[in-house]
Structure formats: structure tokens, C-alpha cells
Amino acid sequence: MPKPNNTEAEQEKLLPEKSGDADITYSDIAAKLLTDRLLLTALELHCELTESGKEIPKLKEFFSNPGNFEQNSKNELSSVALTRWSSQATLDSLDMTRFSEDGEKIFDDKVAVLEFELRKAKETINALRTNLTVATECETLTKSDNTHSKSASAELIKPHEQRALNFLINEYLLLHGYKLTSITFADENENQDFEVWDDVGLNIPKPPELLHLFRESMRNNHFLNTEYQSVSTQTEGDIEEVELLISQLDKLKMKISDLEAENKELSANIDRCKNDGLVTITSHFAAPTSETGSIPEHFIMVDSCQVSNSDNTETIDDTSFSKLSERLNRDGEVNEDIESDDSTSQSNEWLKLSECGSEPKSDVKNDILSLLNNKCGRNLPAAFQKEILSRCYIDAGQIPGSILMEQCETDDSLYRVIHIVAGSLPRIIPNISPNHREDAILLLTYGIRYHPSAEVREKLIQLLFNLKKKPKDDERKAILSSIVWLACNSSVSLMEEELLPLCWEEVNHKYVERRLLISELCCTLIPFLPVSLRNSLLLSILQQILLEDKEDRTKISAINSIAFLVTFIDEDDKYPQCEELLFTGLQDSNSNVVEATIMTLLPALTKWAFDLDKLQSHLITRLLRLLETQIQATANQVKGDTGSPFKQTLLWETRCSWTIGAIRSILPFIVMHVANAPIVLQAIHPNLPTALPRSGFSDVCRGLCNPVTFYEGKYSLGEIIRAFDVTVTEKTWAQLEWFTMTMIPKLLDAVDRVDVSQESLLSSFVSLFHCICSGFGKAAIIAKVKPSFLEKLKAIESKLANVSEEWPSLCVLPVYLLAILVPFQEVEEIQTTLRKFLFMLPICGYPIGILEYCVKELNHVAFIQETLLTTLWEGVVHPREAVRVTVVKLFSVLIPSSTDFVVINRIIPAILTLSNDQDTNVKSSTVQVFGKLIAKTSVKEVLDKCCFQLQTLLSEQNVSDNHILTVQLITTLGVISSHVDSTFRDDVIVTQLAAYASFTMQMTNLSRKQELSRVLLDAYNLVIYCSFGKNVIVNSLIPGLKCLEAACADSAAQRETVSSMIREIEARIHGSDNPANPTISSVTANMGQEVKQRMSKIFQTPIGKQTKFWKK
């Protein structure tokens, strides 16, 4: 309780003693500030002294009197000069500062004082309410312990008690039809606002209605108890202190009324300033929200009791479930602001179910997991449970408040009301606007819960599902929250016999939103249904959705629900069914469905297989069988056995990549399955060496596939991996043998069936084996996996030596180089292997596509680049022509991914050396490389060297006798025409093309003539769009085209194409001199304008004047 105010004399004693010779007190300071009208400083001093218990009466009286500020306001207003108004007659009378903010700044001090006073008044009101509440609580507790006190009827009624009773009586009169009496009662209590409970003056929430309080009182009296015995203990009470507290309460109440009046007056002053346009106030003056945590026990008269079923059927009532219901109810309570007085808005919000976020709250998460663990026999790590909950579970929101629930349990007329509601809702809801039908969800929920007729409940459930034709996300969550509440508070028979059968009927609904609702409902109900229901009926519903639905959204939702359900299934005989659902999702044609399956369902089922020791025997074996089937189908289509189009082949490649990605994602489970063997665990001791680094494996160890999440054992992960690195080189065991003798050979067989043209599929295998090496570590790979690759490569070498057999697949070579040798930086072995096949394949005549892929990928590895270039230089000086030609093509592959430094210092010297080779095939192969260099680089040094070398090749004697070199030169000249300077283009490219066109026109070999004509046509098609001078066009370009036209005399299509080029070039020359001869572009533009005008006339024709074509 606050202490009484000190007198002025007592206050003087609290002031500091003399400082020096001056005798100045706080009262003198306050008087000086008020005299000088330093009101803000005086106000600050007053607040600080009040907070420290040294209040000055003079300041209190001054700031308690609103008249002081009204007088000040009038003086300030009178001192403001009249605003100038502009005249329309003269320009010098125009006030340029009329709309400035200087006028508003005049009243800033006044408004600041008013705002501060209003805020302090509200804080004082809230503090007084809190003190009154605490005092009332103490008084009640004291009197309840005193058995000799007088009865409540003999005591005088307290003011706050009278106001609370008046509020409840008025509410009772309104609820039970006594409207006239309520109006009269309100008129007799003019000093009380019956619309706002906060007007009572206590800092507590509104109690239940009067009828409920009466019934609780009757229940606690002897009218409802046949036998009772009262035992009391006398205690000594401080009667004087109680009387003092009562007097203080009266004073505080009077002070509250004074402050409220002052508050209204200050608010009126602020409103008046706002209406006068003098200031704009944007701050929100709201009192702090009431604290529901400090409710006196004597004011809550409703006992919490469990919901009893009318049909005495089985209910769900374990401890975790009751905790979850209480927490959800508590989370749904809303703190109300003390200024809120809109009763209609409050009632609407009361009928609505609370909204929810994307994830359950942390406390709710723990309760849901506790509820699931009580019904599940599996020992899952807590981190794995939380991860699967955050990824798959759908939080349906909070359950409605508990006050209505308690009223429903104690009100005998509830069932009569339920009959009325159940009969009226089917007629009312169709007439409600679709945007507000969710307001009826709460009524439907309670109707379903408490109506005794199963037939009526079924109609209400159907009405709940049919509230919205296409429910959106928030609308679906509102429906889900109501069904969750039913699952919490209803019998199992209602869920099994009435709700879930209707859900099954909705599975085939024509709207995807309704089917999506059922899928989300299954996920939401998993924690609240018995094990028998969720493992049979719920799983069957989700299975039907996944197998029969066509929409990817619904399938993804069903997959997430199945993943959440699989996590907590402990019936081993359900594993095959869940595995079938997994492979249904993995083989879906939609990439989003497959991705969702790999992200949630695959790790959830893999964890189950890991616990059941079925990872190798069931899940991985079936994944490898699926990959083998898909690879075989892809290989058949590449070879043309099925005659399928390219799109179908690409689809099979994509599916193979998805399956490889699925195996890659669960590699952490495979590693832990092999490493967690008893023989490894026995080798754990403190002196084990540090585990070898596993760089790159962290990309896979994420989410549900992180060993930290899914593994929980006696030893830590670090200890297991250290022991595994030591044991794997010395011993073997069943899991390791299966990995090295079964899984790796099957993956290598799948790689053998891949064609080199399927680069995306080949990259997927490289990524898979790279993760295998990173996960198992260098010791295991070198000792157990690398020998399999070496054996495979040795068999390929023997097949290459036997020319009679068909070419073997070499796709294992890039996997070996990039996934086995590169991660462990075995540079010497990389160079040896690459050199061997670089020299072997060209000599054998094997296609070099696989070498091009290896070189392109190795060039992206920084520490391999120098070794790669050195190995290729060895091919430059190789004595065999085929090897040198191959090296030229491999250098061409390096150009796009190489830096300018590498191009200038390593690639250009090698290509220049090979361009001077005595062999014409080697020389011809370098021409395209020069063209590629010119098109790729902007370095002048590179351009000059390439252009000079091309010009050298063009000027060689007998170059036209080499048909291959001629074709390469013509093609390259066309490609580089837009990348070189105009001098080289005019003097070399156009001139040489004209010479080759003349040479082609005179050729007698018909096949070579047709090939050169086609190549020249392609080159000219690129050249004519460059800019040329008139002399070049007349002297070189047009003569060359006319020669080409004559050479194409046997092909009408080619001849017409060349003729159109000539017309275009001629029109470009004479376009300025002869505007009557338009170019192709101008003709096209004119045609476009003509069509536009015609279409405009068609659309502008009135409907009544349209042509009647049937009368023509």
C-alpha cells in the first residue's frame, strides 16, 4: 500500500542539508520555476521528486489544477499574430511563408505538456488500479482466514464491489430479456459505464456471468452437499491495519475519479488543438495492457474440470494431451487494451478461431512430441523429431478459449441450445457471405462436439467441410483448428466412425483446395489419434491421395504427411507399404513431387530402415534396382531401339538423375550403417589418431540427413569415425563387404551403360562417387573402392586392344579421375592415367568425346590445371598424327574456361606450333581453334596472332587442293566476320570469299561443288549483315555473290536465297538515290502499318453496322 503523503514540514526534512552558505530548498526551487513559467522543468522536477518519495505539495497543487494551463493556453493563443492573407491585386502582398511550419512550432511546448500530462495520468490510473486490486486481494485473504468475522451481508459494500455487481446485474438483465429494467438500472447509475469492464476500477479480467456465479455458489453450499464438516483455525488479525487499508482504498478511488476527470479534460484540450489545425498528433496514447497473471484467486469462481462424454465412449485423456490442450488454450488468450470499448468487435473476435504461424510454438512442439512419444515405441533422437516436426507438421492454430468450455460443461441448458444451433445453422450458413462464413466455425465445432444425434453431427461435419468451395490457406487452417479441437475433446468413436469416413469421401473432390484440406488434416490429426487409427485409416487415406491425385500440390502435402506419420510408426509390418509409397513419389513425373519425396519422406523412411536394420537388404537394394532399370531404358533409347523422340530420352535421363540424387542424399545413413558395426565400436579407445578430413560431405549432411540429427548412441560421431578409419584398413565385416562387393559394383555397371553424350547424367554419377569418397574417407576408398575402378579400367584396356570387339564404355574414366583421384589430390596418378588414354584412344580410333569431358572438368580444378596443360603439350610433340589432331580439339575445349594468361602463354603457342605442322589434317584442325580464339577473346595480342596465322594459311599455295582445309577456312571466315576490325574484313574476308565463290563456280566435281556452295552460303549469310563501304560492296561482295549464284544453279532454293541477298545489297547501295525501290525492312514495315490500319477499322466498326455476310 502507498504511504500517506508527507506534510510540507516533513518534506522539508527530507531535503538535502545546506550547501555552503546558501539555504535553498526544493520548495524554493519549485516556486522560482513556477514564477518564471518554466513549466516543463518544473514538471520534470515534480515527477522525479514524486518517484523518489519527496513530493512537493506546491508542485502537486499547481499541476493538479487544469485552470493553470487553460489560462496559459488563452494567453498563448492571444499572443499569436493574425495570419497574413494574400491579395489578388498586388504581388508584394503575397505571403511566401504562409504554408511554412513555423506557425505550428509555436504550440509545440503546449502540446508536449498536454501529452505528458495525459500519459502520466494514465500511468497513475493503472498504478492505482493495481494497488486497489492487491489491497482487495489481501483483504479478502485475511477475512477468509478469520472464522469469527462477521458475515458478508453484515458488512458495508465497497465501492468497487458495488460497481462490479452493477456490471454483472446489468449484463444479466440484458442476457435474459429485461431490457427496460436494464435501461432504468443504467439511468440510476449514471456515473458508471456498463459497456466497458475496466470502468469497475480493478485490474482483473471480467468474471463469468451472474448465473454461473450463482450456480458455483450453490455447488459450494450445503444445498448440493449432503454432508460436510467445517474446520477452522483462529488467527490473530491486525484490525487496525485492515481499517487503514479500507480508508486508503476509498481515497484512492476518489483520486481515480479526479484523475479520470482530468484525463478527459486534457484529452479535450488536445482534440481542440487538433480541430483548430494547429498541430498533428500521431502518437498513440494507449495504456499498458492488463496483466492476466496477477488475478486474485477469490475472483475466479470457475473450477476446471474435464469434458465428459454423453455416450460414455473411449476418450483420449493422457497427461501429455491435457498439457497440450491447456497450453493451446493459454496461447489463444488475447490481452485487451484498457481503452478498448467496442463490444461488438470483441464478440466477433471471440467467435473466431485464432490464427497461427507457419510453425508451432516451441512449447507446443514439445507437447506434441511428448504426446507422440507416449504412443510410439521407437526411440528416436530428439533432434530428428524436432526436424521432422518443423518440416512436415502443419500447426492448425489455437483452440478456443476455456471460458466458453467451462460454461458449456456447467450450463444445463447447453444441450437445448445445441439442438437449436444444429437445426438453424444449415439454413443460416448458405445466406452468409462467403467471406464471413469462417465466423460460424466455432458454432459448428461445438454443435458437432455436444449434439447427441450421430445423423445431425454428420450433417454439421459436412457443413463444416462445405463452408468454402475453394478454401484458401488461412481458411483451411481455421477449419483444421476446429477439427483438432474436436480430436482433443471428443471420443475416438466420433473421429473413427463419423469424421474420418467423411474425409475419405472428400479425397476425390473436384476442387484441389478441398483435397489439399484433407491431406493437411491427416497431418494435423496424427498426434491426436490413437495408434490403431493413424497406422491404418489415416495411412490409407494418404496413400489414396498420393496414388490417385493429379495435382502436385496435393501430392506434396500427402508426402509430407506420410513422412511425419512414418516417423512415429512402430509396427514393423507397415514398412513394406510405406516403402511402396516412397518409390511412388520417387518415380513421379513432376520434379517438385520428387524433390519433396527426397527432402522429407526418403530420410524419414531411411531412418526407420536404419533402426530396423533393413537399410542394405531392402531400401538401398531397391534403389539400385530402380536405377538399373532406368539406366537400361535410357541406353535403349539412345541406341534407337525404341524409336523414342529426344524429349522422351531426356525425360529418362532426368529420372535417372533424380534416383542418383536420392541415393546421394542418404549417404550419411549408409556411412553410419557401415561404421556403426560392433567390430568398429570395440576398437574405440582414447588414443586413436585424428580422423582424416572429409571435405565436401557437409553438403549432404543437412536437415534430416545430418548424423547429428538422426544418430544417437553411446559413442560420439567423432569417436566412431576415428575408429572406422583405423579398422577399415585392417579388418572387414558384413556391412562393409556389402558396400564394397555389392553396392559399388552395381553403381559401376550403371556407369558403363551411360553414353558420353549424356553429360548431365555423367555429372550426377561423378557427384555421387565424390560424396562416397568424402563420406567414407581416404582410408576406406583407397583400400576398398579404388581397386574396383582399377580392375574396371584394366578390362577396358584389354577390350581396346582387341579391335574385333565393339567399343567399350569409357564413362568410368571421368568418374575415376574426378571422384576418386581429385578429392585426394593424387596428381601423379591423374597425369599417368590421362596420358595413357590420351595416347591410346586416338591410336585405336576411339571417339574422343570422353577425353573432351575429362579435360573440360579437370580444367576447373585449380591444382590440376598445370598438370593438364603439361600433359597436353606432350601430345603436341607426339609422333602420331591422330594424337596431335586430338590435342588440337582438346585445347579448343579449354578455351572458354581458361584465363587470358593461360590462353596467351600456353594455348596460343601450342596451336601456332600445330598450325605449322607438315600434316594437312593437323593444320586443318587448327583453323577452327583460331576462329574460336578470335570470337572468345578481346586481347589485341591474341587477335593479331590469330588473324596473321589465318592470313598465312589463306596465302599458302595449293590450299584449294585440300578440300578439308578449304571448308574449314570458309566456315571460320564467316564466323569471325563480326569479331574482327573492318580492315581485315574488307581486305581479307570478303576478298577470299569472292575468290572461293569463283573457284566453286568453275569446279567439275559435283559433290565437292555442292558442299562448298552450302558452306559459302552459310558464310555469306553471316557476312552481309556487317557494315561495308560502297567500294567493297561493288568490287568484292556483289561479284562474289553472283559467282555463288551461278554455282548454285542446280539448287533452286539456294539460288533464290543468293538472289535475295544480292537484291538486299543492291537496295542498300541505291536506297538513298532511289527511294522508290524500298528495302526489305521498309517493305515489311509498310505491310505492318497496313495490317494495323485494317485491324483498327475492323475493331472500330459499330456492332449494329457490321457486314451481314450471309446476305452476300
Share of the chain above pLDDT 90, in %: 35
- CA distances 732 to 227, 737, 741, 790, Å, are 79, 7, 12, 20
More confident residue, 953 or 269: 953
- What pLDDT was estimated at residue 244? 77
Task: Give whole-number Cα distances, 992 to 306, 954, 986, in Å.
Answer: 99, 8, 10
d(CA 713, CA 518): 38
Closest CA to 42 of 18, 61, 23: 61
Q: How far is residue 811's CA from residue 793's CA, in Å, rounded to a whole number?
A: 10
Would you say the C-alpha torsion 96, 100, 105, 106 has a positive or negative sign? Answer: positive
Average pLDDT (570-581) is: 93
Dihedral angle at the C-alpha atoms of 703, 709, 710, 711, nearest 10 degrees? 150
* C-alpha to C-alpha distance for 651 and 690, rounded to whole angstroms: 45
For residue 695, what pLDDT band results from cuts at 50, 70 and 90? confident
pLDDT at position 1016 = 93
Q: What residue type is assigned to position 869 of the chain?
A: L
How much is the pLDDT for 543?
94
Residue 758 has pLDDT above 80, yes or no: yes
491 by DSSP, 3-state: which?
A: strand
- Max Cα-Cα span within the chain: 136
Map residue 831 onto helix, strand or coil.
helix
Predicted local confidence at residue 819, as pLDDT: 95
Looking at mean pLDDT, say which of 524-533, 828-837, 954-963 comes out highest: 828-837
Please count the other Cβ atoms lying within 10 Å of the Cβ belonging to residue 1007: 9
Q: What is the reported pLDDT for 316?
A: 37
Cell of 688: 586413436
Residues 110-137 pLDDT 10s? 777 787 878 777 777 776 766 666 666 5
pLDDT at 299: 29
pLDDT of residue 1083: 44
Alpha-carbon span 22 to 26, nearest angstrom: 13
User: H or E segment at 725?
Assistant: helix 717-727
Phi then psi dihedrals of residue 590, to 5 deg: -95, 130
- Asked if the model's pLDDT at residue 1112 lies above 70, the reply is no
Q: Give 1004's pLDDT tier (boundaries 50, 70, 90).
A: confident
Higher pLDDT, 14 or 991: 991
Of the pLDDT bands very low, low, confident and very high (cuts 50, 70, 90), residue 202 is low
Three cell numbers, residue 810: 569409357
User: What is the average per-residue pLDDT within 139-152?
Assistant: 47
Mean of per-residue pLDDT scores for the chain: 77
The pLDDT assigned to 347 comes to 36
* Predicted confidence band of residue 785 (pLDDT cuts 50, 70, 90): very high
Q: Is the pLDDT of residue 1061 over 60?
A: yes
Contact 273, 111 (CB under 8 A): yes
pLDDT digits (tens, 9 = 90+) for 248-301: 787 788 888 778 877 877 777 676 655 544 333 333 333 333 333 333 333 233
| Residues 153-173: tens digit of each pLDDT | 446 787 778 888 888 898 888
- Over residues 1072-1091, mean pLDDT: 48
Find the mean pLDDT for residues 880-899. Answer: 94
pLDDT at residue 1034 greater than cutoff 70: yes
pLDDT (average), residues 67-93: 48
Q: How many CA atoms lie within 13 A of 1085 on its CB side?
A: 5
Summarize pLDDT for 424-436 with one digit per residue, the tens. 677 677 767 667 7
Residue 343 has a CB neighbour count (10 Å cut-off) of: 12
Mean pLDDT of 873-891: 94
406 pLDDT above the threshold of 90: no
pLDDT bracket for residue 988 (50, 70, 90): very high
pLDDT over 50 at 487, yes or no: yes
Q: Which CATH architecture has domain 323-333+346-612?
A: Alpha Horseshoe (1.25)
- DSSP characters over 628-650: HHHHHHHHHHHHTSS---HHHHH
Output the pLDDT for position 291.
Answer: 36
**pLDDT higher than 70, residue 846:** yes
Domain assignments of the chain as residue spans, ordered by start: 323-333+346-612, 613-824, 825-942, 957-1091
SS3 19: strand
Q: 439-448: per-residue pLDDT in tens? A: 778 788 888 8
As a dihedral over the C-alpha atoms of residue 126, residue 129, residue 131, residue 132, rounded to 10 degrees, the angle is 170
Alpha-carbon distance of 585 to 583, in angstroms, equals: 5
pLDDT more than 70, % of the chain? 72
> Taking the C-alpha atoms of 985, 990, 995 and 999 in order, what is their torsion angle to the nearest 10 degrees?
120
Average pLDDT value for residue range 864-872: 94
